[in-house]
Structures are given as structure tokens and as C-alpha cells.
Amino acid sequence: MVTYAICGSDGSIHAVGRGEELPNAMEREMNIPAGGFLIDLTGQEDFDTINILDIHKNYKADAEKKTLVKNE
């Protein structure tokens, strides 16, 4: 099972998903905003078990490092 976040260029999280595989190229093109990016969270910290809504509400993306950081 994979967990991923779709983020805007400003670090905002647009969507968090969990499934059998990462979105394919067409799904990425349709869902990632201009200048945005996808972060594969699989195996990082506890993201595999955290509720995806909690990830969406409590984290933001570091656009340079392509990682999530907890909101302060």
C-alpha cells in the first residue's frame, strides 16, 4: 500500500491518497497543479498508518526538500 500527497508549488497540500500504487502519468498530469509536485510518503515516519485527513489538515510540504513537515 502506498501513501502520497499532491502539493502545490507553495507547499500547500491539495490531496492525500492511499492505494495499491502511485497515480500514473495521466492521473498526475490531471491532478498536480502547475509548478506542483507529488510526494511518495510510503515508508516515511508514520504516514502509512496516519489517517489521510489528518495528514491533509496537520502537515504542509517543504517544496525544496519534497517532504512533509508538521504544521506549527
Per-residue pLDDT, 72:
84
Cell numbers for 43, please give them: 515508508
DSSP alpha helices (H): ranges in 1-72?
Answer: 25-31, 52-58
Per-residue pLDDT, 15:
96
Banded model confidence at residue 13, pLDDT cuts 50, 70, 90: very high
Give the total number of structural domains in the chain: 1
In terms of residue numbers, what domain contains 20?
A: 2-70
Query: Could you report the per-residue pLDDT of 28-55, keeping only the tens digit for each?
Result: 999 999 999 999 999 887 898 899 999 9
Name residue 66's amino acid: K
- Containing 30, the helix (H) or strand (E) segment is helix 25-31
- Residue 10 near residue 17 (C-beta atoms within 8 A): no
**Percent of the chain at pLDDT above 90?**
86
